[in-house]
Structures are given as C-alpha cells and as structure tokens.
Amino acid sequence: DRSPSRGLGDVYKRQVQSRTTKSAKGDAIMSDKTIIKLENLVFNYDGEPVLDGINLSIHDKEFVTFLGPSGCGKTTTLRIIGGFIYPHSGNVYFDGKLINELPPHKREVNTVFQRYALFPHLNVFDNVAFGLKLKKLDKREINKRVKEMLEIVNLKGFDKRKVNQLSGGQQQRVAIARALVNHPKVLLLDEPLGALDLKLRKEMQLELKKIQQRLEITFIYVTHDQEEALTMSDTVVVMKDGEIQQVGTPQDIYNEPTNAFVADFIGESNIIDGVMINDCLVSFNGHEFECVDTGFGENQPVDVVVRPEDIEIVAYEDSKLHGEVESVVFKGVHYEMTIDCEGLKWLVQSTDSAQIGSKVGLKFDPFDIHIMNKLFPYASNYLKGMVVDENTVEFLGIRFERQNLGLPVDTEVNLTISPKDIEVVSEDHSDKIVYLESMIYKGAYNEFIVYTEGEQLLFHSQNDEQVATDIGIKINFDNIVISLKEPEKEE
C-alpha cells in the first residue's frame, strides 16, 4: 500500500479505488472467458504502420478502454474488431472463431460512434427499432425490446419524441439503445462522449458503466481522455504509435506505469533522468535515494517517476532534496507548486501551501519512487551514413560536407550524434522535417523522440511542440562523429 495521496492525484486515486471497489461486483460479473482475441494485428496506411503487431485478449462482460493520443491506432483497432476494415496481417477471433473476413452485419458486435448518426426524420422509438425492423422481427417483440431498452437508458416516455428535440446526452442514449436493442455480445464505443459538455460527459461516464453492469455484456471503449478511462474501465489498454504500451486495471496503470510515456499520459508526473546504482538504490537530482525496484542493471540509466501528490513539503533541513518555491496556484482541492531543486523543476500538489521564494525540503517514501526503462535506450543517436563524394556524407536524406574525409565514394559509415546537437526550428529553416513521436518533460527540458526514414532520433529542447505533428530540426554537422567501426553504444 502506498502512502495517503494528496491533491489532484488523490482525485485520480479515489476514482481508481472506487472503480476497483465497484469491480468487486464487476469481477463477479466479468468472466475469465476470452470473447475477443487479437493476434499480431498489423495495419498500414499509405505504407506507414498504423498498428504494429497488436496482441490482446478481451474477456466476456469486461469494460475495456483503449486509451492514447490521436493517431495511436486505437480507433483502427476498434474498426478492425467491428469489421469495418480488415487487417493487413494477423487474426481476429470472436468466441474462439476466426472472423477476419466476416462483414460487420454478421458479427455479434454493434458500434456507437462519436457522431451518433441518428435518423432525423424518425422519432426515438423508430430510431431504436430500426435494426430490429430490418431483421423483420415480430411487432410485439420489437415493441417489447424497444420499451425495455429505453427504460434502461433512462428515456422512458421519450418514444414519440423527435431526435432533433433531444439534448446531446439524450441523443447519445438513443444511439446506445439502438446499438444494444439487437442484443450484441460486444458493444464498441468510439469516443461517444466527445461532443458533450464537461458536466454531462461526467454524468454519462457513470451512466455507461451502470448500463454495462446491468446488461452484463462486453464494452470496448475508445478515448484519449484519461479520466474517462480511470472512471469506467475494468481494464485499460494504453497505446502509442500503433503499439500497446501497458494493459492493466486503472489502479495498475496509475500506480505502476511501465514507462515514461504511460506515466506522463496518465495523470501528472515528475519524470527525471536517473541512474540505478543497484537493486533498491537510485541516483537522481544529485542525490541517492532508496527505492523498492529491482532487476535493473548496475549503473543503468533509467527514468524516475514521482507523482506530485506523493511529495511532502518539509523543513529545508529535514530532507536531502530541497529547493526554492517558484510558483503557487490554488486549484480548489489542493495547491499546485513548482519548486526549483538545483536546476530541476518539481511539481508538487498538496493541501498545504508554501510561500513563493521560501526554501523547502521535498520528501517521499521509497515506494513512491517508480523506476522505468527509458523509451530511448541510448544516450546518443547512432545512425548509418554513406560517403557520396570525397567531401560529402548523406544520412536520412540529408547531406553535409566534411573536409578531408579520405574515404572512397559509396563507403558506409557510422554516425554518432549527441541529442545536444539537434535543435528544434521552424520548418522553413530546418535541415529536416520529422514526425514528433513523443515529448516528455524531464524537469529541465523536454525530451523529444522523432521518427524519420525508419529511424528514431532523440534530442532535448525548451520548446513545447504538438505531439503527432511534423516539426523542423537543425543539426550541428560539425559535431557529428564519423567512424568506420561500429561505435560502442552508451546507455
């Protein structure tokens, strides 16, 4: 058990603990039976990978949420499950049967989209009954099912109402009723709350969970909203760049993130570069700290995560880690403070406030320190290049001159580029336009990982950029180390 949380993290942990407690019922509902199995799913768009070998098992009667930023592949995964697109390779199993080529209408799956696609010329009853009428069910059976479903989604008495007379939340309920009235084994929901205002969205999060528990069917939900995922889910699947980063309960995902991306995406975190000296001992911010993590190599560079709500402000002399309070913002349930500790900015959330300019100590317990492998394993960028003439080297589609190379044309060379020698610039002043795959704040700088020509590059910058967009970079070619010998890659 972790120490009592404070501030914003307390809100997250209360939601997670509440979700876990409710899941005591949910666990009784959720079956051990696998209803959907995804096996090595690959999907490409214009030659670029959207899904890169997805493997996942989804249990019967489970509420599963695919969570991740735009472009991570979560909606593509949902559409493959629904049969709207087919994977380029890999398999989809439903109840143990391969369904790769099965069209949507033959799958026991229904979908609710962000745009509800209701028929404006039909009333609520006829919208919900539409699929049943296509199946040519008996009128009494249709009437019975529709009435039952409208009661489940709290729209009893709305059957004659035109859909354009309904609020956004009511329209969303109609879309859910229309999907559920066909008695699917699985309901797919693609960001269905995205068009609602904040208050209504929070209400509908709880409403959806109640509906799922009452009907005891599998819900697969797609969102980029971490709060939705924590509030509703039995299982959260965190995705990035077409790959699954972590699968677990909301509590697992929040308390034990597997890497800096998950820690940064779920809640707020202090993510600091550190070195794992040996088991249960880590160095960061110029000091050594006891932790509870094991299994890392001696002196291995790692990412260290400490949640803002797990940090206690103490007297300056009562902690080895201390600094100066730079800002204090009241957030309603807690104070959010930025504290400069020997050049690194720490975020602290606490119900206790400190004065701006005051000297304070920061204290946390060993089990509040989370140690993770780095997303980018090396300290420098190691690339292949080619000598294209006596004074020119080419790599990643970029050419630069280096006098007195002394190497024959068409010789392959190894290039070592420090992250410090790559700068973020405007696209019109750049050496290369690259795709920003990841940006994580490390206390003193943003760590960028970009993707280009099938290679990843790591560099640091004070700039804030939009992830999953193109940015310009400029390289200090004078500092590139050129070698014929494969360099020893420093971690």
| Under 8 Å between Cβ of 335 and 349 | yes
**DSSP conformation letters of 18-83:** HHHHHHHHHHHHS-SSEEEEEEEEEEEETTEEEEEEEEEEEETT-EEEEE--TTSSHHHHHHHHHT
Assign 122 a pLDDT band (cuts: 50, 70, 90).
confident
- Which pLDDT score, from 0 to 100, does residue 337 have? 96
| Mean pLDDT, residues 153-180 | 85
Model confidence at 282, pLDDT cuts 50, 70, 90, reads very high
Tell me, what's the pLDDT at 177?
87
- Return the pLDDT at 425: 94
3-state DSSP call for residue 218? strand
Residue 253: what pLDDT?
A: 92
- Give the number of other CB atoms < 10 A from CB of residue 145: 19
pLDDT value for 412: 95
Q: Over 90: is that where the pLDDT of 488 sits?
A: no
Residues 6+ apart with CB under 8 A from 370: 256, 257, 263, 293, 304, 305, 306
How far is Cα 37 from Cα 27, in angstroms, rounded to an integer?
Answer: 20
pLDDT at 16 over 50: no
DSSP at 367: G
Does 115 score more than 80 pLDDT?
no
- Per-residue pLDDT tens over the stretch 219-254: 999 998 888 898 889 999 999 989 999 999 999 999
Q: Compute how many other C-beta atoms are within 10 angstroms of the C-beta atom of residue 475.
A: 21
Whole-angstrom Cα distance, residue 245 to residue 247? 7
Strand ordering across the sheet containing 235-240: 109-112, 186-190, 218-223, 63-67, 235-240, 243-248
Residue 420 vs residue 200, higher pLDDT? 420
Q: What is the DSSP string of 146-206?
A: HHHHHHHTT-TT-TTSBGGGS-HHHHHHHHHHHHHTT--SEEEEESTTTTS-HHHHHHHHH
Highest mean pLDDT among 26-35, 55-64, 174-183, 261-270: 55-64
Residue with tokens 């070592």: 416
Per residue in 390-404, pLDDT tens? 899 999 999 999 988
| Highest-pLDDT range among 149-153, 402-406, 469-473 | 469-473
Over residues 442-449, the mean pLDDT reads 92
For residue 490, the 8-state DSSP code is: P
What is the C-alpha separation between 377 and 4, in angstroms, rounded? Answer: 33
- The whole-number pLDDT of residue 208 equals 84
Q: Phi, psi at residue 260, to the nearest 5°?
A: -65, -30
In this predicted structure, what is the pLDDT of residue 14? 40
- Tell me whether residue 175 is exposed, middle or buried, using C-beta atoms within 10 angstroms of its C-beta: 0 to 12, 13 to 18, 19 or more: buried
Whether 464 shows a pLDDT value over 60: the answer reads: yes
The pLDDT tens digits of the residues spanning 328-346 come to 999 888 999 999 998 999 9
As a whole-number percent, the residues of the chain with pLDDT over 90 amount to 58
Q: Residues 43-64: what's their mean pLDDT?
A: 92
Please, what sign has the CA dihedral across residues 297, 301, 303, 305? Answer: positive
Decide if 63 contacts 210 (C-beta within 8 A). Answer: no
Contact 41, 198 (CB under 8 A): no
- The predicted model gives 263-274 an average pLDDT of 91
Q: Residue 375 — very low, low, confident or very high, per pLDDT cuts 50/70/90?
A: confident
Residue 184: what are its φ and ψ, rounded to 5°?
Answer: -70, 155
Mean pLDDT of the chain: 88
The predicted-structure confidence for 17-26, as pLDDT tens digits, reads as follows 443 334 433 4
Cβ neighbours, 10 Å, residue 206: 11
CA 431 to chain centre: 30
Q: Which residue has the higher pLDDT, 424 or 183?
A: 424
Distance of CA 129 to the CA centre of its chain: 36
Beta carbons of 380 and 419 less than 8 angstroms apart: yes
Q: What angle do CA 134, 179, 88 make, to 5 degrees?
A: 95
- As a whole number of angstroms, the distance between CA 216 and CA 278 comes to 47
As given in the structure block, the two tokens for residue 187 are: 């309901």
List Cβ neighbours of 218 (8 Å cut-off, separation of 6 or more).
35, 36, 58, 59, 60, 61, 62, 63, 64, 185, 186, 187
- pLDDT confidence of residue 195: 67
Q: Residue 451 has what pLDDT? A: 86
Please give the average per-residue pLDDT across 68-89, as a whole number: 93
